[in-house]
Amino acid sequence: MFDAASPPGQNRRPLPPAQSPADGVPSPRTPMSIQARQPPAKKADRPGKQRDAFFDNAKFLAIVLVAMGHSWEPLKGDSRILEALYTVVYTFHMPAFIIISGFFSRSFDMRPDRLKRLITGVAVPYVIFETAYPLFKNAVDPGSHEEISLLDPWYLTWFLVALFIWRLTTPIWKLVRWPLPLAVGLAMLATATPNIGDDLDLQRVLQFLPYFVLGLSMKPEHFHLVRRRSVRIASVPVFAAALVIGWWAVPRMNTAWFYHRDAAQELAAPWWSGPVMTLALMGCSLLLTACFFAWVPRRNMWFTALGAGTLYGYLLHGFLVKFADYRGWFEHPWLHHPLGEIAVTAVAAAVVTLLCTRPVQRLFRFAMEPKMEWAFRQDAAELARERQTREREREKVSA
């Protein structure tokens, strides 16, 4: 599919066809450089699913940052530098992942096969892990009596609720005239509305919503803009400045603002500061996200294939982080020194990498990507599409 005439960074062997990732985000298909210069193919003429290495690389690196950030939480109180780094990472790692989720949700509609993938790849894993995490805590943490509540997402599972809601509302965002300003307005209102409560973590759903809608509104050429050499060079002083500002802000700013899970009043701030902080944090997040994308490799790397297993790493690493926390491992004095913090960071990155591998995916596919054909009615249109696909494959083989 790629030849010597391909643009720099695109001369690589294609990955084998893969299923849609279990995180509900459609697989990265044809590389953006080819999308940008080719007209959309007719449905019957589209080639097999081809993943774009850039997006798999970005997803994997973002999940590694998520795992490292979670491993820093028990340690950051003793290190101003670590807390500054934690603040900077939390400014952009989830926005980057959510923007990619929105970008690959552009084609989502209420077609039965897509709804089934949303249910089996997002809703069912949410129910399983929302049940598993409290049971795990009760088993590992002595004296704990955590209750199971499907309405109150626990720890990492909020993202599955948010993704489910965002994907279901995608047709609405594609319909309205100004989707991004509307999403930003809802996020600003949410930060001034403490009565929203904790059900389904709607504060996070609404406050992170603009990033998903932004992804829906983006085109391949927008990602090319941030992958230019000039942007890559400029991102270095931007990240350096962000670390300096983060270090300065540690004793002056509540880190909870970066979690996007509370209204301003719940953070002991006046109501008007919520909308102001929404705009300020979104500006910072988008700037650092652009810098992050600028440094994501465009070619196949040793970790590219792991980008398809990011949901596995995301949901499973939480058990290990919480186990270490419940057992008091983070309280060891050595870990609260620079070498200990570096060691914890390296272990977190290695563990989440391992959890994204294919053996782990095969082992936990029953929970992440259950087929559940028994639960759905057979759709005549889908069966017809499958027959056409099989016929085309047979024709290719015979040719």
Q: Residue 371 has what pLDDT?
A: 87
| C-alpha span between 327 and 335 (Å, rounded) | 14
Q: Residue 49 has what pLDDT?
A: 55
Q: Residue 1 has what pLDDT?
A: 38
* Contact (CB, 8 A) for 205 and 183: no
Higher pLDDT, 96 or 394: 96
Q: Residue 271 has what pLDDT?
A: 94
Could you give the percent of the chain with pLDDT greater than 90? 64
Q: Residue 382 has what pLDDT?
A: 66
* Contact (CB, 8 A) for 126 and 81: no
Q: 179-211 burial string, b = 16+ CB within 10 Å, else e?
A: bbebbbebbbebbbbbebeeebbbbbbbbbbbb
Q: Residue 105 has what pLDDT?
A: 92
Q: pLDDT band at residue 77, thresholds of 50, 70 and 90? A: confident
Q: Is 199 a residue whose pLDDT tops 50? A: yes
* Contact (CB, 8 A) for 285 and 277: no
Q: Is 154 helix (H, G, I), strand (E, B) or coil?
A: coil
* Contact (CB, 8 A) for 207 and 187: yes
Residue range 122-150: average pLDDT? Answer: 91
21 closest CA partner among 97, 95, 112: 97
Q: Residue 339 has what pLDDT?
A: 93
How do residues 313-335 score in pLDDT, each as one tens digit? 999 999 999 999 998 899 989 89
* Contact (CB, 8 A) for 89 and 69: yes
Q: Is 250 helix (H, G, I), strand (E, B) or coil?
A: coil
Q: pLDDT band at residue 392, thresholds of 50, 70 and 90? A: confident
Q: Residue 399 has what pLDDT?
A: 62
Q: Is 383 a residue whose pLDDT tops 80? A: no
- Alpha helix ranges (H) inside the chain: 32-37, 53-72, 80-103, 112-118, 124-140, 158-168, 170-175, 179-191, 202-207, 209-217, 220-226, 229-249, 273-295, 310-326, 338-355, 358-368, 380-398
Q: Residue 24 has what pLDDT?
A: 43
Q: Residue 182 has what pLDDT?
A: 97
* Contact (CB, 8 A) for 298 and 53: yes
Q: Side chain identity at 318, as an amino acid letter? A: G
Q: What are phi and psi of 143, to 5 degrees?
A: 85, 0
How do residues 12-65 score in pLDDT, each as one tens digit? 444 444 344 444 444 444 455 444 444 444 443 443 456 789 999 999 999 999
For residue 170, the tally of other CB atoms under 10 A from its CB is 21
Residue range 116-124: average pLDDT? Answer: 93
Q: Is 164 a residue whose pLDDT tops 70? A: yes
For residue 361, the tally of other CB atoms under 10 A from its CB is 19
| C-alpha span between 339 and 349 (Å, rounded) | 15
Across 4-8, 140-144, 343-347, 361-365, least confident range: 4-8
How do residues 207-256 score in pLDDT, each as one tens digit? 999 999 999 999 888 888 888 899 999 999 999 999 999 999 999 899 89
| C-alpha span between 195 and 203 (Å, rounded) | 10
Choose the most confident range, by mean pLDDT, from 40-49, 145-154, 180-189. Answer: 180-189
Residue range 281-294: average pLDDT? Answer: 96
Q: Residue 34 has what pLDDT?
A: 47
| C-alpha span between 84 and 87 (Å, rounded) | 5
Q: pLDDT band at residue 301, thresholds of 50, 70 and 90? A: very high
pTM of the full structure? 0.82
| C-alpha span between 260 and 126 (Å, rounded) | 20
Residues in contact with 150: Cβ distance below 8 Å, sequence separation at least 6, in sequence order: 126, 127, 130, 131
